[in-house]
Amino acid sequence: MLVWLPLGATLLVIRFVINLLDISLLLIPESYRPEIPGLGVLLSVLLVLGTGAIAANYIGSKLVVWTEAMLSRIPLVRTVYGGIKKLAETIFSEKSVSFRQPILIEYPRKGLWSVAFVTGDPIGEVQDKTAEHVLTCFVPTTPNPTSGFIVLVPDRDIIRLDMSVEAAMRLVISLGVVTPEDVARRGVRVVPGADPASEI
Q: Which of 195, 145, 148 is nearest to 136 (CA)?
A: 148
Q: How confident is the model at residue 52 (pLDDT cuts 50, 70, 90)?
A: confident
Range 2-20 average pLDDT: 86
Supply the mean pLDDT for the chain: 80
The pTM assigned to this predicted structure is: 0.54
Domain segments of the chain as ranges: 23-92, 102-188
54-82 pLDDT tens trace: 888 888 888 888 888 888 888 888 888 88
Is the pLDDT at 190 greater than 50? The verdict is no
pLDDT tens digits for range 113-147: 999 999 877 777 888 888 788 988 999 998 888 78
Q: Report the alpha-carbon distance of residue 172 to residue 122 in Å, rounded.
A: 25
Residue 159 is predicted with a pLDDT of 94
CA proximity to 156, closest of 81, 105, 90, 190: 105
The pLDDT tens digits of the residues spanning 76-100 come to 888 888 888 877 776 666 655 567 7
